[in-house]
A and B are shown apart, each in its own frame.
Chain A
Amino acid sequence: MSFPWAQKYEPQSPLMKWIDSRLPLPRLVFDAVGAGYPVPRNINIWYNFGVLAGVALMVQIITGVVLAMHYSAHVSTAFESIEHIMRDVNSGWLIRYLHMNGASFFFIVVYIHIFRGLYYGSYKAPREVVWMLGVVILLLMMATAFMGYVLPWGQMSFWGAQVITSLFSAIPLVGEPVRQWLVGGFAPDNATITRFFSLHYILPFVILGVVILKIWALHIPGSTNPTGVDVKGPQDTLPFHPYFTAKDFVSLCVYLFAFAAVSFFLPNSLGHPDNYIPANPLSTPAHIVPEWYLLPFYAILRAFTVDLFFIQAKLWGVIAMFASILLLLFLPWLDSSKVRSNAYRPLYRIFFWILVVDVLVLGYIGAMPAEEPYVRIGQLATMYYFAHFLIILPIVSAIEKPLPLPNSIAEAVLAKINKGMPAATQPGAIAQPAE
């Protein structure tokens, strides 16, 4: 794996030697997330979100398996079984709140992780496959969370299922049969709950598999770093353990603190109250919105209101929504700049932050009713989103003059220490992971 100067695993005790020659699992762990994995010494706090995402996935799986012991996947009992979990099952309320808010926290972490990748150019060669696997994970997460949200069979569950599965009816000719195939009926019903439960149970394990592939692919070149320059020698790296395990633990504590605070004190703040009303196929809630983490994409879906070039507005919306995510798969080839990190890209950096604002605007618009001025703002923000990737990014990366790069990570770290740090912290600073 990765660099030639990585520490080698050497089992000490006879027992570990015995195991190592039969099932070298401790060796795998040592090489992957232990002292045997060298990491750029200057990675900053934004590089902790990958580990946090892994923890968030485990939290979902553990709480989910427990919920599944008490949940009943049937139209006539699903809603009641959720109330049963909330009121009767010992600690059921806690486990459900952890699962509900765990999904939101998972998305917060993953979105930060994605924007980290965008800022530091993590998607560029030789990490294209790592990035693309990440996009696959995002899609799987969205599918999983969407189907999970249907399970309680409240008003938002039902109407969310109706609206999202109807997206597929926009496909010419086969659309309606495909929609019926997805929900197993003419409208969401029992067949929908049971299949969504089955898939909601299995997809997280598929995600886990893709995560393992992603880490495998990542460990060939290793992580990027805030300077974006490649690792050149041992002076540029530190072993993952104990340096970054310790650092990850600090961020994990902060994360768990925030997660616990929301789950205990504001457990319903990220959800929608209408989902505590049992599903009613005869009445759509006045204002239906998806979970917050899908809002920007929902805004893109709704941005198309007129037919263009013989394609119906509805199909445009669906195409644009899927394209907004699939577009990310092509990012490594849309950005031709050789410089990875935005710290050295004065021009593109500005557009990066505009994109962040644009996505936040889209999220806000997604939560608003389909009225003016929201529709128009949503259309402009959607246009900008696509323009960013398809027009601005290719042009900027062609004309931009990047700032001079440091010769190596070690040089950048030392320069920073000599320039900025108070004298007292200087001795020994070199031995620490920077930042």
Chain B
Amino acid sequence: MSNYVLQKEEFSAFFSQVSENYDFIAPIKGKETSFEKVTNDDMLNLIEWDELPLFPIKHFFQPKDEPIFKYDKTTAKDVNSKPRKTVLFGLRLCDLNAIHHRDMALMNEDFTDPFYKERRENSILIGLHCKKGDEYCFCGDMDLHDFFDLMLYEHDECFIIETKTDKGLKFAKKITALDRTDKAIHANDRITENNTRIDKEKMNKIADFFTSEKWEEGSKLCLSCTACNMLCPSCYCFEFTDEPELVLLHKGQRMRNISSCQLKCFTRVAGDFVFRKEKNDRFKHRIYHQLQYFKEKHGVTLCVGCGRCIRGCPKRIDWVDILNKM
């Protein structure tokens, strides 16, 4: 597909053209970097170009809490959702692949999550090539692939933009700040430094280590704080709760809330039986879902190697390091 070029000095024009028809979401620096809606030119100065945002993009597709239907005594009615057309800008390959994995998880031949599907269909994924990982990343060890509508590769004065999908191409054609270019994306452009650290052989044999006591090195420090689940771009588990209206208790809405496998209540059934009662079992479950269980079903690990679950862990529990030592 054709390549495009965006001059850096044209970025503000690019933004204003895009925001005529789309919400523009980008990684915005703050106390921690997170994906926010950009509403004005000044915010463009806050875009984080170099470092991986601590917070993932997943809340855009699957909010922390959202209504899934309204009820009234014994009737249930769909909520009217009108997802806005949205450009998600500045995604790294790890985050993009996490979206691909979420597609696999939540849209299949048997069932499709309706809210997720709507938001996916209304979004354009614009990547930003990541040049350098940090001490926690290991995306280079994972089988990531080119999953995006457009991808920006930074040059001195401009970005060269690779188009991958028809959706991306159509979008690029409409935005006049983007010009067609004959410039190719070179192997050099695609390099990401410092992004390997997991022992792949160990990772592929993780099933053999299920009973290893080494996991306790990590789990004994774990606070079950759930930060690892919340920061993970891939984790997608949820639960439902009913939220009655304050006055008319028979009316209300069923909410879908983000959920964490690190908590006992995640597997608690009536009679107070908890299937994963031990912290070590819960600690392992997350890692095994990421590296083994998802792969059994979908052929790829759920984990994309972004390292957020280690970077953001208050105890900095480095499960990759623990696995490497097995």
Do A and B assemble together? no
Q: Which residues of B approach A to under 8 Å, CB–CB?
A: none
